[in-house]
Chains A and B, each alone.
Chain A
Amino acid sequence: MKSYMRGRWQRWVNRRIPRSDTQAFQQKNIFILPTGAGVVFGMLLLIMLITGINYQNSLIYLITFLLGAVFVGAMHQTHRNLAGLELTLLRPGEGVAGDDIPFRFRAAAGKDDAVAIVLSVEDSELAPVHVAAGQAVDVSLPIPSAYRGYVRPDRVRIETRFPFGLLKAWSWIRPASAGIAFPRPLKAPDLDATVTDGTETEQARSREGNDHADLRPWREGDMSQRVMWKRYARSGQMVVADWEGEQGSPHWLDFNAFPGTDHELRLSYLAYLVSERDKKGSRYGLNLPGQMIEPDVGAAHAMRCMRALAVWGEEPPREMSREVHGSRSETDTPDQLAEHA
């Protein structure tokens, strides 16, 4: 029952706050409730009122109304603190899975000061920032990641309790863009055991002599470069040449080099190898099923390889919610259901 209510509530919130990299906070998407201290304060006001009634003391009435008005005024002010603020996701971050991935946000205040704004996601929370009216402040919010792949916080909470901490106004931004978590590098086992070692001379030989190649029928996952197209034109058979030495070549980091190992583990090994090679400054390429990155050197190349490792086999998260067709506009879209199942 509780989870059902929570599910409904979250779907309702998600309808109000569509996925977007920029979110302006205003009347319709700001929520405001008293904090624990605010509830106690409300009870205190009630006790004060009863004291005033029982002792027939006008000044206690007066002070109760005064503090009550302060409470209501604080509600207005806490709300205005957030209203008019615009939060933009400048750059979704990149990092290693398991680490916090910094997402860069910009908070731009409207015509009111936005004081003591706290950005948080799950259990990671930023120190309060203050944005003067008409100004903007950039902050980095670390988003915790558990797995490699696309990282996109379902919601980033933005909250303020200023001025008195008796009320909290909050809302969410639901970023459309996703950051990337690289596979956590794990020291790869020695390649010697699994692939033929290619010294410089052997490699040269193998490049020259095509007769070293093993020919085998094409199977799914083979790269088109290896298909012997001439033979295909001749006979109509798709035959793949497995060049001896190419797989084991130090130039190529190959997904298939770790047979029998879990896919994620292979990616971690490869991430380790990429960073190793990059550190040494040697030339390497990356061979993943369905994707091949030609050998190259440099930081940009390393980054490209890491990104490829990170998102291999992953669907990019949808940029925006799908448009609704037909009359069932009130029913929830599948991805919302999936998110909160």
Chain B
Amino acid sequence: MALLDVLKSGESDGPMPAIPSKALMWLLISFTLLMVPQWDRLPIWLIAACAVLAGWRWLAQFGRVRLPGRFLRIGVMLLLIAVYVATVRGRFTVDTAASFFVLAVGLKWLETRTSRDFYVLFFILVYLATVSFLFHQEILWTLVNIAGLGTLLVGLQVLNAPDLPAGMQSGWRRLGWLLVKTLPIVVMLFVFFPRMAPLWSVPLVSGEARTGISDTMRPGDISNLAQSSERAFRVTFGGQLPVYRDRYWRGLILDYLDGETWKQSAYEPYQPPGKVDLDGGVGDLRPAEYDVLMEPTDQRWAFALADSRAVSANIVEREEDLFRFRRPADTSVRYRLVREQENSGTSERLSRSEVRRYLQLPASGNPRARALADNLRNSGSDMAVVQSLLTRFRGQEYYYTLRPPEMPEDGVDTLLFDAKRGFCAHYAGATTFVLRAAGIPARIVVGYQGGEPGAGGDYLIVRQYDAHAWVEAWVRGQGWIRIDPTAAIAPDRIESGLRDAVAEEGSFLEQDWASPQRYGDLAVLQWASLQMDRINYQWQRWVVGYQGQSQMDLMSRLPGGFGMKELGYLTAGIVGFALLMAGVVSAWQMRKSERHDAFRRIVDAWHGLCARSGVPVRHGETPSALADRLAVAKPAASDSTRLFARMVNSHYYSPAPAKASEIKRMRRLLSTMKKQVRRSPTDPLKQHGKV
């Protein structure tokens, strides 16, 4: 029985209509547009495969090629899915899921035949656009995404009316009006819709390695990072910007030397990613506070100035004055910190295990550096050892360079005594090595140093080339002090940044041709790039960052004390009001258009006259039938009413709407009819009955 039903319904639906070429074109354009914001995360093979499959479908539309048969289709499908599975390697993140969507769209091209397939693609692409907001939130990409969705909606219009005459073809205009009319509601919903806390913990957005510092450091690592001008984070200060040389952004600490590689000794157990928490503190910044808006790193570490305390709840403070997110930063995230007074001197002591940890060195290697350390140890106090090491860096011919030579064996020895050329990571590693060999607990700090003011000068932009490594040493009585060998060798790096420090060498961003920062001497370019950044920063802070606490903060400024519940009511109210308004407006428009139709008005007047004469119009009665009945009731008006009915009929059956002259004639006829009706006030039949 059920089978029969299915068969029957399949029959009655009939074959679905094929997709018109123009609709397919819009679909392809939209697909291309929606891929653009994802260019940097999609693997090349996937983009290539999608391009080929979409091209195949497009050619097939015009009969140049045939769509593949079932076996070829399944073959292509299996092949691509195999490649996908091989590249994903069991990671499950939004990134891999979104790539799978892209793959699904690509494969769907081969079987996009009917309008139902069009809708399937429509839904996938809409969700793809949604997901792509997890990767990029800049204004530009937002606009590209919205344009892609608009194209999709225009495509739907074409699909639903492929043969529209030119006068009505304005799909964009229709969509535009729709958006203009509904925009106020969208804005109000955006502001007032209650921002709930996340309902459950969701997969990470991305598991891919990103540009940025990592938790291991080999001597050449940071100089690679120095070739990138990508933004790491932006900072707004409540008070004055700190001077350049104080802009040390501590990220993580490397304290274990394994051969040539520095690592973290603290074992960080696996923690499931928590719920997304982007509430980075609200309200105006107090003088010592600062807000960091960090680009996604997919790591848990947050960057902070020394002697900071956490203000916002989405970061937690760890030992060693470091900060960690509760969930890896898989999307851009804002957090707030407060700087405390530098505490000079501490009576704390390192525990024995800590001493062991910060003095760890490989059992052998770098004999000359160890000898140097023995020498320095004789110079007296810990502080004196540090000073004499820095003096050595300052006094001798050490160079700060982005093109250091290879130092494969005994790297520290080679750097200190032979090559004397290196980047911050080399010098920090060597300094830590020597201090430890001299018996002073030391550790490497990795993070960023510097940051340029953005347009307007009210915030700092820190970029990947500001990545830096320096040293902290434990000096008895003073606690951990910062030691930066780079400052001794290339003071420019610390005072004004990498660009000036390597100006002579000309190696600043030498591999990054497209970066505006590379062309520091082009003032216009710099200005434009900074203005763009400012717009994006404001966008990110106020629109993208409009979340739970910021909403509550905004609401608390409104009179009436809005809470979550009130917001819920308000949202329901807005939606209800909008629907009501739409209904009222359309009813009013209908009314107006009816009143404007002169023909209808005059027919209504005739109906009224008939009703007054005792022959109310019946449902569905033809004009001539009504005229006949009126003629019986009011014989004097019989001719005029029959003529009138003929005119009404001829209007119904004529190809063009009634002309003004015809309306005029009908009006005159109607007034004649009224007089006639008045003149024959009684029904002849009734008269007859009285006699």
User: A and B bound?
Assistant: yes
Interface string of B574-608 (1 = CB under 8 A from A): 00001100100011001001001100000000000
Q: Does B265 contact A (CB under 8 A)?
A: no
Most buried by A among B178, B205, B620: B620
A197 to B408, CA, bound (A): 125
Docked-complex contact B165 and A79, CB < 8 angstroms: no
Docked-complex contact A27 and B202, CB < 8 angstroms: no
Of B155-163, B252-260, B368-376, the one with at least 4 CB within 8 A of chain A: B155-163
Docked-complex contact B157 and A163, CB < 8 angstroms: yes
Docked-complex contact A134 and B157, CB < 8 angstroms: no
Q: Does B186 contact A (CB under 8 A)?
A: yes
A316 to B185, CA, bound (A): 55
Of A1-9, A49-57, A94-102, A278-286, the one with at least 4 CB within 8 A of chain B: A49-57
Interface range on chain A (Cβ under 8 Å from partner): 35 or more
**A19-B620, A56-B276, A58-B547 known; A63 and B129 CB under 8 Å?**
yes
Would you list which residues of chain A between 127 and 156 have a CB under 8 Å from chain B? Answer: 128, 130, 132, 134, 136, 138
**Which residue from B159, B548, B590 sits with its C-beta under 8 Å from A56?**
B548
Would you list which residues of chain B between 178 and 236 have a CB under 8 Å from chain A? Answer: 178-179, 181-183, 185-186, 189-190, 193, 195-196, 198-200, 202, 205
- What residues of chain B lie closer than 8 Å to A60, measured between beta carbons? 130, 133-134
A21 to B623, CA, bound (A): 11
A18 to B621, CA, bound (A): 11
Q: Does A72 contact B (CB under 8 A)?
A: yes
Apart from A37-B119, A116-B160, A320-B619, list 19 A-B contacts with CB within 8 A.
Answer: A21-B622, A40-B119, A51-B202, A54-B275, A56-B195, A57-B137, A59-B133, A65-B189, A67-B126, A70-B175, A73-B179, A108-B657, A132-B165, A138-B655, A162-B157, A163-B156, A164-B157, A164-B160, A320-B620
Docked-complex contact A116 and B620, CB < 8 angstroms: no
Would you list which residues of chain B between 653 and 673 have a CB under 8 Å from chain A? Answer: 653, 655-657
Docked-complex contact A130 and B165, CB < 8 angstroms: yes
Q: Smallest Cβ distance from B250 to chain A, in angstroms?
A: 26
A56 to B199, CA, bound (A): 10
Q: Smallest Cβ distance from B617 to chain A, in angstroms?
A: 11
Docked-complex contact A116 and B545, CB < 8 angstroms: no
**Which residue from A44, A48, A58, A66 sits with its C-beta under 8 Å from B545?**
A58
Q: Point out residues on B near A: beta carbons under 8 Å.
A: 12, 115, 119, 122-123, 126-127, 129-131, 133-134, 137, 142, 145-146, 149, 153, 156-157, 159-161, 163-165, 167-168, 171, 174-175, 178-179, 181-183, 185-186, 189-190, 193, 195-196, 198-200, 202, 205, 275-278, 331, 543-548, 578-579, 582, 586-587, 590, 593, 596-597, 618-622, 625, 652-653, 655-657
**Which residue from A47, A61, A320 sits with its C-beta under 8 Å from B621?**
A320
Q: Smallest Cβ distance from A227 to chain B, in angstroms?
A: 35
Docked-complex contact A56 and B161, CB < 8 angstroms: no
A-B CB proximity, top 3 nearest: A20-B620, A69-B182, A18-B619
A70 to B154, CA, bound (A): 12
A163 to B177, CA, bound (A): 13
- Chain A interface, >50% SS class: mixed
A176 to B276, CA, bound (A): 64
Q: Does A187 contact B (CB under 8 A)?
A: no
Q: Number of contacts between A and B (CB, 8 Å)? A: 196
**Which residue from A47, A84, A165, A321 sits with its C-beta under 8 Å from B590?**
A84
**A76-B582, A77-B174 known; A48 and B544 CB under 8 Å?**
no
A27 to B189, CA, bound (A): 28
- What residues of chain B lie closer than 8 Å to A54, measured between beta carbons? 198-200, 202, 275-276
Q: Does A319 contact B (CB under 8 A)?
A: yes
Q: Does A307 contact B (CB under 8 A)?
A: no
- What residues of chain B lie closer than 8 Å to A66, measured between beta carbons? 146, 149, 179, 186
Docked-complex contact A40 and B123, CB < 8 angstroms: yes
Most buried by B among A19, A59, A61, A90: A59
- What residues of chain B lie closer than 8 Å to A53, measured between beta carbons? 195-196, 198-199
For this complex, 18 residue pairs linking A to B, each with C-beta atoms less than 8 Å apart, are A18-B619, A21-B622, A27-B590, A51-B131, A55-B276, A56-B198, A59-B544, A60-B134, A65-B185, A69-B186, A83-B586, A110-B597, A132-B165, A162-B160, A165-B115, A165-B156, A319-B625, A320-B620
- What residues of chain A lie closer than 8 Å to B115, measured between beta carbons? 165
A55 to B277, CA, bound (A): 8
Q: Point out residues on A near B: beta carbons under 8 Å.
A: 18-22, 26-27, 37, 40-41, 44, 47-48, 50-70, 72-74, 76-77, 79-80, 83-84, 88, 90, 106, 108, 110-111, 113, 115-116, 123, 128, 130, 132, 134, 136, 138, 161-166, 176, 319-321, 323
**Which residue from B196, B587, B619 sits with its C-beta under 8 Å from A19?**
B619
**A55-B202, A63-B133, A63-B145 known; A164 and B161 CB under 8 Å?**
no
Docked-complex contact B198 and A63, CB < 8 angstroms: no
Residue of B nearest to A63 (CB): B130
- What residues of chain A lie closer than 8 Å to B179, measured between beta carbons? 66, 69-70, 73
Residue of A nearest to B138 (CB): A59
Residue of B nearest to A45 (CB): B126
